[in-house]
């Protein structure tokens, strides 16, 4: 949230193709995790596998892939108790 990638509001909102404004970006208030519900929920899920304060460099690419697969195959209430992978696969089949 405090990264330099958020400094240029205009380029965030501008289309790469047309250079015209295509969206509006909104920011949460500092130190207000309740305004970032989805982000905080994913953090909670990730913390099942990676404890707070653990160094990511201690995890191999294979470890991270395993964690990613577990998360993507976790049924979610917001998805009608389907998994992210199921929803993604359904969407890709329609495209």
pLDDT for 47-87, tens place per residue?
999 998 899 899 999 999 999 999 999 999 989 999 999 99
- Helices assigned H by DSSP within 1-95: 9-13, 37-46, 61-72, 84-94
Model pTM greater than 0.85?
Answer: no
CA atoms lying within 13 Å on the CB side of residue 11 = 5
Closest CA to 6 of 33, 23, 31, 26: 26
pLDDT of residue 1 exceeding 60? no
Q: How confident is the model at residue 94 (pLDDT cuts 50, 70, 90)?
A: very high
Let me know if 95 is exposed, middle or buried by CB neighbors in 10 A (0-12, 13-18, 19+): exposed
């Amino acid at each position: 949230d405090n990264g330099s990638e958020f400094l240029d509001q205009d380029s965030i909102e501008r289309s790469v193709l047309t250079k015209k404004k295509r969206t509006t970006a909104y920011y949460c208030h500092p130190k207000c995790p309740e305004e970032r519900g989805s982000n905080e929920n994913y953090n909670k899920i990730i913390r099942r596998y990676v404890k707070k304060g653990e160094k990511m460099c201690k995890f191999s690419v294979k470890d991270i892939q395993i964690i990613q697969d577990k998360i993507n195959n976790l049924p979610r209430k917001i998805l009608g108790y389907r998994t992210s992978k199921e929803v993604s696969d359904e969407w890709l089949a329609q495209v």
